[in-house]
């Protein structure tokens, strides 16, 4: 009897040890995966920095030239330098199209977010939310294709645009439609997060619904709304193919909304495959990618700043 008990105890002990070994293994496994993600991100950053700074170290261009010169004529050979790598046109193209897109879409997004949360929450959650989610899911190439086959001819025929409709306007509209769902969902979440006491207090003092929205709800939700705007901007900045399809890809500053130009992502998408690895043009394109990376980092930083400020205000 006692010997059987001892054996049982032994077995149980062994099992417990086995389980804890297994637990340690699992724990190490998932920790390794976490560390792997960190390493992956860091290595993406390092590769981009190493490749992207080649323009300045290997070919001795200045950062000033890259950012502010419009003279883009890099040499495309494996090691020969001597061209010029001013990317101002591309940078300006990105800034202009994204800025315009934001200008077009922010009022609409905000209104749509308010509609689906404050005005008609029932239709908002049953019809609007799923519709907006479908908007998010539409692949950007499809947006570009629609832009190319519908928007570009439309602009050509209505405004008699010089370059067949390929224009800053077309790119901005495509981007605006693309980032609409991003801004709307984040803004709607922020508005839903405003405590209902705020509304009750405002209504209790005799405010109309518009006054409640305009003076209480939107100001209280503003950190979240700004976060949504920045997320939308980040998406617009990183979009490549949809913009490349409608922007016209001409290397010149646009003379107006109806003129074509080029931007950072479209230039990378179009030229990276044909450039000799390590050549001046190749590295200049990598510098553009590095710039995009730095801009997306800046956006994350801004979002953190906003949320910190927001929580300070509430506390």
Angle at 174 between CA 123 and CA 91, to 5 degrees: 130
The count of residues in the chain is: 315
Q: Binding string, 197-216, against another protein, x = CB under 8 A?
A: -----------xxxx-xx--
Contacts of 227 (CB under 8 A, 6+ apart): 186, 190, 303, 306, 307
Cα–Cα nearest to 197, from 171, 216, 170: 216
Among 88, 154, 289, 307, which residue sits at the site for another protein (rule: CB under 8 A)? 289
Beta carbon nearer to another protein, 62 or 274: 274
How many residues of this chain bind another protein (CB under 8 A)? Answer: 85
Which tokens belong to 279?
Answer: 């050549």
Min dist CB 159 to another protein, Å, is 21
Cβ–Cβ under 8 Å, residues 268 and 246? no
Place of tokens 């010029």: 84
Here's the x/- map for another protein, 173-202, by CB under 8 A: it reads as: ----x--x----------------------
Q: Is 104 in the site for another protein (CB under 8 A)?
A: no
Q: Which of 168, 286, 287, 310 binds another protein (CB under 8 A)?
A: 286
Selected from 1, 3, 5, 37, the binder of another protein by CB under 8 A is: 37
Position of tokens 């086995």? 18
**Under the criterion CB under 8 A, does residue 48 sit at the interface with another protein?**
yes
Q: Specify the residue, 169 or 264, whose C-beta has the smaller distance to another protein.
A: 264
Residue 56 is a binding residue for another protein (CB under 8 A): no
β-pair partners for 72: 85
Show contacts with another protein in window 221-250 (CB under 8 A): 231, 234, 237-241, 245
Residues 132-161 that bind another protein (CB under 8 A): 132-135, 137-142, 144-146, 148-150
Give the interface segment with another protein, choosing from 2-10, 168-176, 189-197, 289-297 (CB under 8 A): 289-297
Site for another protein in 60-89 (CB under 8 A): none
Q: Please report, as residue ranges, which positions from 106 to 135 form the binding site for another protein (by CB under 8 A).
A: 108, 111-112, 114-116, 119-120, 123, 127-128, 130-135
Which residue blocks in the chain are alpha helix, DSSP H? 2-52, 54-57, 63-68, 88-114, 121-123, 129-137, 140-146, 152-159, 168-192, 196-204, 209-211, 218-238, 241-246, 264-271, 280-314
The CA distance from 298 to 279, in Å, is 28
């Amino acid at each position: 009897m006692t010997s059987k008990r001892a054996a049982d105890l032994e077995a149980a002990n062994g099992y417990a040890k086995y389980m804890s070994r297994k637990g340690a293994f699992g724990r190490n496994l998932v920790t390794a995966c976490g560390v792997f993600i960190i390493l992956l991100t860091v290595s993406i950053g390092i590769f981009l920095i190493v490749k992207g700074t080649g323009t300045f170290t290997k070919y001795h261009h200045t950062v000033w030239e890259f950012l502010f010169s419009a003279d883009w004529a890099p040499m495309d050979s494996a090691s020969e330098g001597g061209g010029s790598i001013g990317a101002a046109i591309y940078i300006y193209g990105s800034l202009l199209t994204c800025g315009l897109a934001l200008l077009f879409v922010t009022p609409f997004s905000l209104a749509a977010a308010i509609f689906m949360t404050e005005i008609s929450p029932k239709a908002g959650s049953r019809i609007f939310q799923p519709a907006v989610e479908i908007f998010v899911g539409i692949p950007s190439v499809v947006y570009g294709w629609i832009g190319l086959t519908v928007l570009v001819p439309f602009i050509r025929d209505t405004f008699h645009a010089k370059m067949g409709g390929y224009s800053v306007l077309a790119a901005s509209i495509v981007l605006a439609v693309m980032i609409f769902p991003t801004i709307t969902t984040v803004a709607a979440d922020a508005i839903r997060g405003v405590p209902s006491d705020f509304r009750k207090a405002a209504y209790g003092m005799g405010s109309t619904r518009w006054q409640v929205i305009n003076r209480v709800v939107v100001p209280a939700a503003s950190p979240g709304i700004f976060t949504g705007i920045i997320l939308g901007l980040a998406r617009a900045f990183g979009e490549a193919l949809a913009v490349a399809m409608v922007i016209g890809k001409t290397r010149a500053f646009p003379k107006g909304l109806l003129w074509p130009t080029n931007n950072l992502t479209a230039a990378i998408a179009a030229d990276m495959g044909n450039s000799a690895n390590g050549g001046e043009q190749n590295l200049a394109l990598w510098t553009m990618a590095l710039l995009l990376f730095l801009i997306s980092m800046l956006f994350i930083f801004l979002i953190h700043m906003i949320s910190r400020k927001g929580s300070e205000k509430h506390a």
